[in-house]
């Protein structure tokens, strides 16, 4: 038991409402999960609750429908949060307002990698990649809100219903840039400093975009790639870096190898999903930065689109 909740626990206290979408391993949308989540600190003990049910699901329905609400204990910490079961076992590491969690769910029979990114006071960008061994089974992702009820909650759930299945597609006829101030956290989970991130886009045709990435501040990096989309999959085809990605709805999950020792794995998430990701769209971003196979840091924040 602990005398007071951790900073991360304080950030996620209360009840959160969402309607995340379920996708299969190929990125095909399969259904919605109506969920109420809460993480409760009481008498020195933290317990996580999740209640709701799956709508749709296709061939995944039998695996991911809830037979009863989930609940599991948490050893609360801003270093290693340990999930003690009975419904989930594993651990999560907070990096400021972002947590990277790895755990196993006996009821769903999958290994999970969950990324939760808190924006402001009442918005949480959530995704869980679902694994059978090293193979992807599917993905849940969506936006949760806290402190909403009545008309506000109805509007939020309607937006999640509308936005959830929309695929991640960059603007195809409008040049522009996503830009914003993010934070760099070291592998030791300590804040290093701000990083200004720019993703400059110059469409080439309906399936290809010239993407120029620039990071300045606490971490400096710049490269340009030809970004090519093929359905839910995309490819970063040099000259400054190489890699690929797959989109589960409005969330794009990428692995990019730079031409030195650095590798980036990331999630870019459209908050307001519209075809072509038009003006005003906010992109919540989170990137793991590796030097070889070793985690060097985590960059996360939000970017706003402006047309060139």
For β-strands 123-132 and 262-270, DSSP reports them as: unpaired
Top-confidence residue, 277 or 272? 272
299 pairs with which residues across the strands?
184, 287
Task: Find out whether 191 and 96 touch, Cβ atoms under 8 Å.
Answer: yes
Residues whose CB falls within 8 Å of the CB of residue 267, separated by 6 or more in sequence, listed in order: 115, 127, 251, 252, 253, 254, 285, 286
Report d(CA 141, CA 115) in Å as an integer: 9
CATH number of 176-307: 2.40.128.20
- Which has the closest alpha carbon to 289: 265, 260, 257? 265
The pLDDT score that the predictor gives to residue 57 is 94
Rounded to two decimals, what is the model's pTM? 0.95
The pLDDT score that the predictor gives to residue 227 is 97
- At 231-265, the pLDDT tens digits run 999 999 999 999 999 999 999 999 999 999 999 99
- Count helices and strands (H / E) in the chain: 3, 21
Task: Find out whether 300 and 96 touch, Cβ atoms under 8 Å.
Answer: yes
Mean pLDDT over 24-30 rounds to 97
- At 144-174, the pLDDT tens digits run 999 888 999 999 999 999 999 999 988 888 8
The pLDDT score that the predictor gives to residue 281 is 80
Domain definitions of the chain by residue range: 7-163, 176-307
- At 92-142, the pLDDT tens digits run 999 999 999 999 999 999 999 999 999 998 999 999 999 999 999 999 999
Q: Which parts of 55-149 fold into alpha helices (H)?
A: 61-64
- Which has the closest alpha carbon to 238: 253, 226, 228? 226
Q: What are phi and psi of 271, to 5 degrees?
A: -75, -45
Task: Find out whether 97 and 280 touch, Cβ atoms under 8 Å.
Answer: no
Residues whose CB falls within 8 Å of the CB of residue 122, separated by 6 or more in sequence, listed in order: 145, 146, 147, 148
- Which has the closest alpha carbon to 97: 308, 222, 270, 284? 284
The pLDDT score that the predictor gives to residue 172 is 86
Residue 275 has pLDDT above 70, yes or no: no
**Rounded to whole angstroms, what are the CA distances from 93 to 6, 34, 80, 88?**
12, 26, 5, 15
Q: State the CATH class of domain 7-163.
A: mainly beta
Sign of the Cα torsion 218, 305, 254, 19 reads positive
For β-strands 176-186 and 89-95, DSSP reports them as: unpaired
On the question of a common fold for 7-163 and 176-307, the answer reads yes
- At 73-87, the pLDDT tens digits run 999 999 999 999 999
- At 173-222, the pLDDT tens digits run 889 999 999 999 999 999 999 999 999 999 999 999 999 999 999 999 99
- At 292-302, the pLDDT tens digits run 999 999 999 99
């Amino acid at each position: 038991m602990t005398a007071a909740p951790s900073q991360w626990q304080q950030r996620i206290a209360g009840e959160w409402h969402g309607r995340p979408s379920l996708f299969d391993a190929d990125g095909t949308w399969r259904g919605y999960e109506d969920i109420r989540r809460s993480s409760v600190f009481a008498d020195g003990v933290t317990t996580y609750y999740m209640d709701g049910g799956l709508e749709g699901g296709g061939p995944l329905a039998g695996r991911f429908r809830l037979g009863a609400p989930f609940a599991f204990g948490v050893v609360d910490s801003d270093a290693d949060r340990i999930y003690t079961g009975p419904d989930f076992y594993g651990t999560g590491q907070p990096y400021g307002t972002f947590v990277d969690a790895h755990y196993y769910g006996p009821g769903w029979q999958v290994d999970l990698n969950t990324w939760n990114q808190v924006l402001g006071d009442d918005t949480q960008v959530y995704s869980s990649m679902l694994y059978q061994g090293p193979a992807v089974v599917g993905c849940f992702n969506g936006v949760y809100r806290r402190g909403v009820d009545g008309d506000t909650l109805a509007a939020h759930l309607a937006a999640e219903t509308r936005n959830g299945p929309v695929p991640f597609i960059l603007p195809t006829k409008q040049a522009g840039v996503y830009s914003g101030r993010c934070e760099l956290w070291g592998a030791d989970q300590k804040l290093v400093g701000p990083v200004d991130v720019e993703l400059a886009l110059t469409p080439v045709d309906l399936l290809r975009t010239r993407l120029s990435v620039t990071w300045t501040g606490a971490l400096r990096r710049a490269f340009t790639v030809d970004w090519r989309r093929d359905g839910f999959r995309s490819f970063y085809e040099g000259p400054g870096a190489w890699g690929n990605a797959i989109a589960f709805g409005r969330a794009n999950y990428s692995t990019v190898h730079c031409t030195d020792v650095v590798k980036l794995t990331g999630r870019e998430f459209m908050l307001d999903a519209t075809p072509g990701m038009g003006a005003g769209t906010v992109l919540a971003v989170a990137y793991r930065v590796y030097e070889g196979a070793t985690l060097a840091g985590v960059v996360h924040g939000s970017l706003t689109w402006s047309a060139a």
